[in-house]
């Protein structure tokens, strides 16, 4: 494969990894797959692109606004949709799943209504005068930014989970909410923190990656799907697992479309997901329980 | 409607509504087109009703089953001199077989995992429609389909609309009956207590596969209908977004009965295509309405209408006994 493709694998892999990390945080804190994370990333990316081109805001203001919108959407989803429904159905999974799928659709439609239904190119955060040459490949400024920001987010999140009070409590709540409530953990607030952090990560991931592939109001669904598959591939046993999952999925997609043409990207994803779900649903990095 | 002795109320009332719908759209080509689209959606929603609402399995590849029905008709129209009516059983069989195979491959998955894999299947299917140009005509689709012959004459749009509304009525009524049959009860029990069903000697996995196959067959009828109504098909008509609209139809209309799926289809078409007031924001209003129903009104529109009617019914009966 041409070495430029490896650069693409890293870029796309980082993006999938961030969405998967968002899933993981919400999963830890609320025991719940937050399918609407993809549309939050899309909303943030589309919003930032729209505000820069149509409203002529400075890039960083637009990006901050987009990220804030993603966090707000995620928090609102927990408060107005997920929490009331979980309270009503008590333990049945399907109603929450349907509700979050409905949220996915609603956020996409909201973005289409507010920002319009045409695709936007993303705005790069940084450009080099002279791109780095690496063999035959050329590494541009945005690539460096993507890798740097992704690693920074992963390191910060690992530190947050390990050393902050809420981070430490997160897993206790996700594992068993009833027990955590009995022990006096502020369950509602911890869940809310998980949704906010999930929205924050997705909100950053969107405008970070959109300069590479553009964005439109329907991008959210594939973001959600690919992020979820990256999460399942990596497993939920380690905070770093999403990074592995994202890179593997990206490598698979790029290799498939290079070798067999672009339609096989979707076929390969389907086959890989089906195989992983069937034979290794716990992912590559599962938590081992010692006997 | 659940009281004894009223077994005829449901078919009679709904048939009356179906005939009223036929009369309402008759003669207006625009309303007929709207009715056909509504019926297409109704078929998908009814197809999803059995495995999804009753069985609790969120399998999302319904755009593929719809596509199978449509391409079956288009291919028979373009590449054979068979009667187009053959596309119905052929499409239904292929769709059911696809659903059973996909269901078998995903039999251990539930919830989010099942939704994700079946969505990917739906996406891969649309990719294949564009990719396999020699079979499907690629991104240009299949154009200029011949008009089906019905009772020795070319099928007019008005006749097609009436037949279609009648077919929706039959399928919805059949599903409503199926719901209360032993099979239907087992499918519904599976949603909450799969292990209990299994321990009664009913193989849950077979139950699921049968309901997935039946549902896919019903949805494929909608696809064939879509192809006939448009005389042409394009791959983008079968994109996954369609599935979202279709999941929400029975929820919005009301989960308690298959008629809710039909009502949902009517609401969707009204929201997204009909009301010029909403224009582009129709789908946004629709999705917000769905969220609202999910959060505060889980029985859907039909559920509350029926509760209201039942209260009214009891009120008048109570009045009668007091008089007598």
Strands in chain B per DSSP E: 149-150, 153-154
Question: At what angle are helices B204-230 and B62-79 packed, to 10 degrees?
Answer: 50
B124 touches chain A (CB under 8 A): yes
pLDDT average, residue stretch A211-239: 91
A272, closest residue in chain B (CA to CA): B117
Q: What is the pTM of this model?
A: 0.89
- Answer yes or no: are the C-beta atoms of B215 and B98 closer than 8 Å: no
| β partners of residue A134 | A137
CA–CA separation, A104 and A225 (whole Å): 11
| Chain B interface test: which of A38, A105, A273 (most B C-beta within 10 Å) | A105
Please tell me which residue, B197 or A162, carries the higher pLDDT value.
A162
Name the band, by pLDDT with cuts 50, 70 and 90, for residue A287. low
Nearest residue on chain B to A260, alpha-carbon basis: B131
Q: Does A274 touch chain B if contact means CB atoms closer than 8 Å?
A: yes
- Looking at residue A89, its pLDDT comes to 81
Q: Is B109 on the interface with A (CB under 8 A)?
A: yes
Average pLDDT over residues B282-290: 82
Q: Which residues contact B59 (CB under 8 A, 6 or more apart)?
A: B51, B52, B99, B102, B103, B106, B114, B115, B118, B212
Instruction: Calculate how close chain A gets to B220, using CA atoms only, in Å.
Output: 22
Which residues, numbered 182 to 241 in chain B, qualify as contacts with chain A under a Cβ-Cβ cut-off of 8 Å? 191-192, 240-241
User: CA–CA separation, A208 vs B266, rounded Å?
Assistant: 41
pLDDT at position B6: 65
Number of residues in chain B: 324
Note whether B295 contacts A80, CB cutoff 8 Å.
yes
Q: Is the model more confident about B187 or about A220?
A: A220
Query: A44 CA to chain B: closest CA distance, Å?
Result: 18
Question: Least CB-CB distance to A274: which of B105, B123, B288?
Answer: B105
Cβ(A6)–Cβ(A258) under 8 Å?
no
Structure tokens at B222: 């909608």
Could you tell me what percent of chain B has a pLDDT over 70? 93
Q: Which of B116, B283, B287 sits opposite A273 (nearest CB)?
A: B116
- What is d(CA B110, CA A245) in angstroms, rounded to the nearest whole number? 21
Instruction: Calculate what percentage of chain B has a pLDDT beyond 90.
Output: 23
Name the 3-class secondary structure at A138.
strand
Taking CA atoms, B100 is separated from B164, B206, B214, B218, B243, in Å, by: 26, 10, 9, 14, 18
Closest CA to B216 of B120, B96, B91, B56: B96
The span from the CA of A171 to the CA of A190, in Å, is 10
Query: CB distance B294–A277 less than 8 Å?
Result: no
- Sketch the domain layout of chain A as residue ranges: 3-279
Burial B242-259 (b: 16+ CB within 10 A, else e): bbbbbbbbbbbbbbbbbb
Mean pLDDT computed over A158-177: 84
Number of helices (H), then strands (E), belonging to chain A: the values are 12, 2
Q: Which ipTM was obtained for this model?
A: 0.87
Return d(Cα B24, Cα B15) in angstroms, integer: 14
Residue A120 sits at φ, ψ, to 5 deg, of -115, 140
pLDDT computed for residue A244 by the predictor: 94
The answer on pLDDT for A162 being more than 60 is: yes
Q: Do A266 and B120 touch (CB under 8 A)?
A: yes
State pLDDT tens for residues A95-125: 888 899 999 999 999 999 899 888 988 888 8
B200-226 burial by CB neighbour count: b if 16+ within 10 A, else e? eebebeebbbbbbbbbbbbbbbbbbbb
CA distance A206 to A234: 21
Among A252-261, B34-43, B290-299, which stretch is predicted with the lowest mean pLDDT? B290-299
Give which of B62, B124, B299 to mutate to test A binding, by max A Cβ within 10 Å: B124
3-state secondary structure of A266: helix
Q: Cβ separation of A81 and B127 shorter than 8 Å?
A: no
- B113 chain-A contacts, CB cut-off 8 A: 232, 277, 281
Chain B closest CA to A2's CA: distance in Å? 25
Task: Decide if B127 and A267 are in contact by the 8 Å CB cutoff.
Answer: yes
What is the pLDDT averaged over residues B71-82? Answer: 86
* Cα B150–chain centre separation: 24
The dihedral built from the CA positions of residue B123, A270, A38 and A181, taken in this order, carries a sign that is: positive
Query: B205 Cβ partners below 8 Å, 6+ apart?
Result: B107
The beta-carbon neighbor of B294 closest among A98, A273, A274 is A98
Averaged pLDDT, B7-21: 86
The total number of residues written for chain A in this structure: 291
Asked whether the beta carbons of residue A80 and residue B130 sit closer than 8 angstroms, the reply is: no
What φ, ψ does residue A54 adopt, rounded to 5°? Answer: -85, -40
Confidence of residue B190 (pLDDT cuts 50, 70, 90): confident
Considering all CA atoms of chain B, what is the largest pairwise distance in Å, rounded to the nearest integer? 75
| pLDDT exceeds 50 at position B323 | no
The DSSP result for B160-179, as a single string, is HHHHHHHHHHHHHHHHHHHH
Residue to test with chain B: of A24, A109, A268, most B Cβ within 10 A: A109
Closest residue in B to A110 (Cα) is B284
Alpha-carbon distance of B70 to B245, in angstroms, equals 18
pLDDT given at position B220 = 93
**B106 part of contact set with chain A, CB < 8 Å:** yes
Which residues from chain B sit within 8 angstroms of residue A104, using beta carbons? 244
CB of A160 within 8 A of CB of A167? yes
Average pLDDT, chain B: 84
B150 touches chain A (CB under 8 A): no
Q: Does B85 touch chain A (CB under 8 A)?
A: no
Per-residue pLDDT tens digits for A30-52: 888 899 999 999 999 999 999 99
Quote the tokens at residue B137.
């005509």
A95 contact B CB<8A? yes
Q: Does B115 touch chain A (CB under 8 A)?
A: yes
Name the token pair of B38: 């509504």
* Residue A213: predicted pLDDT: 87
pLDDT at B224 over 80: yes
Do A110 and B284 count as a contact with CB atoms less than 8 A apart? yes
Q: Which of A233, A237, A282 shows the shortest CA–CA distance to A253?
A: A233
In this predicted structure, the answer to whether residue B255 has a pLDDT above a threshold of 60 is yes
Confidence (pLDDT) at B172: 93
B81 touches chain A (CB under 8 A): no
Residues 22-61 of chain A with CB under 8 A from chain B are 33, 35
pLDDT digits (tens, 9 = 90+) for B109-151: 878 888 889 999 999 999 999 888 888 888 878 887 877 777 7
Q: What is the predicted pLDDT for the residue at B322?
A: 45
A276 pLDDT higher than 90:
no
Contacts of B58 in chain A (CB under 8 A): 94, 97-98, 101
Whether residue A31 contacts residue A174, with contact meaning beta carbons closer than 8 Å, is answered with yes
Distance from CA of B290 to the nearest CA of A (A): 7
The whole-number average pLDDT for the span A135-162 is 90
What SS3 string covers B55-66? CCCCCCCHHHHH
**Distance (Å) of CA B77 to CA B73, B85, B160, B234:** 6, 10, 17, 15
Name the residue among B241, B283, B294 with its Cβ closest to that of A99. Answer: B294
Q: Which of B116, B127, B298 sits opposite A225 (nearest CB)?
A: B116
Tokens found for residue B135? 């079979």
Pick the CATH number of A3-279 from 1.10.287, 1.20.1540, 1.10.357, 1.10.3470: 1.10.3470
Q: How far is CA B21 from CA A225, B157, B257, B301, in A?
A: 40, 15, 19, 19
For residues B165-186, give the mean pLDDT: 91
């Amino acid at each position: 494969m041409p070495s430029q493709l490896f650069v693409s694998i890293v870029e796309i892999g980082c993006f999938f990894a961030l969405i998967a990390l968002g899933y993981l945080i919400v999963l830890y804190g609320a025991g719940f797959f937050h399918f609407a994370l993809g549309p939050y990333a899309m909303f943030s990316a589309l919003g930032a692109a729209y505000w820069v081109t149509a409203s002529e805001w400075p890039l960083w203001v637009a990006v901050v606004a987009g990220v804030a919108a993603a966090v707000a959407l995620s928090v609102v989803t927990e408060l107005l949709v997920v929490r009331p429904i979980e309270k009503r159905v008590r333990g049945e999974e399907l109603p929450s799943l349907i509700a979050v799928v409905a949220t996915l659709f609603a956020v996409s439609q909201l973005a289409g209504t507010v920002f319009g239904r045409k695709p936007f190119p993303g705005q790069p955060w940084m450009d080099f005068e002279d791109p780095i040459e690496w063999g035959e490949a050329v590494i541009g400024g945005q690539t460096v930014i993507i890798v740097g920001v992704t690693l920074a987010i992963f390191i910060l999140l690992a530190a947050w989970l390990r050393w902050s009070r809420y981070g430490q409590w997160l897993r206790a709540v996700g594992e068993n909410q009833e027990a955590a409530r009995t022990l006096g953990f502020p369950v509602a607030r911890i869940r809310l923190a998980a949704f906010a952090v999930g929205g924050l990560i997705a909100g950053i991931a969107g405008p970070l990656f959109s300069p590479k592939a553009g964005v439109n109001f329907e991008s959210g669904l594939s973001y959600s799907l690919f992020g979820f598959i990256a999460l399942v591939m990596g497993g939920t046993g380690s905070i770093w697992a999403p990074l592995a999952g994202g890179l593997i999925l990206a490598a698979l997609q790029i290799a498939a479309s290079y070798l067999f043409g672009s339609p096989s990207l979707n076929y390969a994803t389907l086959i890989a997901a089906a195989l992983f779900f069937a034979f290794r649903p716990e992912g590559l990095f599962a938590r081992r329980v010692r006997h | 409607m659940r009281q004894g002795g009223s077994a005829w109320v449901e078919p009679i009332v709904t048939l009356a509504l179906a005939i009223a719908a036929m009369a309402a759209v008759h003669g207006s080509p625009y309303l007929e087109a709207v009715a056909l689209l509504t019926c297409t959606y109704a078929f998908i929603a009814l197809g999803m009703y059995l495995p999804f609402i009753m069985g609790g399995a969120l399998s999302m590849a319904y755009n593929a089953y719809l596509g199978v029905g449509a391409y079956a008709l288009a291919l028979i129209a373009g590449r054979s001199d068979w009667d187009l009516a053959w596309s119905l059983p052929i499409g239904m069989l292929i769709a059911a077989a696809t659903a059973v195979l996909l269901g078998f491959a995903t039999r251990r998955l539930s919830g989010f995992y099942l939704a994700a894999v079946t969505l990917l299947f739906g996406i891969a299917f649309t990719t294949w429609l564009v990719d396999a140009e020699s079979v499907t005509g690629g991104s240009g689709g299949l154009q200029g389909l011949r008009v089906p012959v019905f009772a020795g004459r070319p099928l007019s749009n008005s006749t097609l609309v009436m037949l279609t509304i009648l077919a929706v009525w039959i399928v919805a009524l059949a599903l409503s009956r199926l719901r209360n049959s032993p099979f239907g009860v087992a499918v519904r029990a599976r949603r909450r207590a799969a292990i209990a069903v299994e321990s009664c000697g009913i193989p849950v996995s077979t139950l699921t596969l049968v309901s997935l196959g039946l549902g896919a067959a019903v949805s494929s009828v909608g696809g064939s209908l879509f192809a006939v109504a448009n005389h042409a098909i394009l791959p983008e008509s079968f994109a996954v977004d369609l599935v979202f609209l279709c999941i929400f139809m029975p929820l919005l209309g009301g989960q308690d009965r298959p008629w809710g799926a039909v009502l949902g289809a009517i609401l969707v078409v009204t929201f997204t295509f009909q009301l010029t007031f909403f224009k582009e924001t129709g789908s946004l209003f629709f999705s917000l309405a769905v969220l609202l129903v999910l959060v505060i009104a889980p029985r859907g529109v039909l559920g509350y209408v029926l509760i209201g009617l039942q209260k009214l019914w009891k009120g008048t009966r109570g009045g009668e006994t007091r008089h007598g």
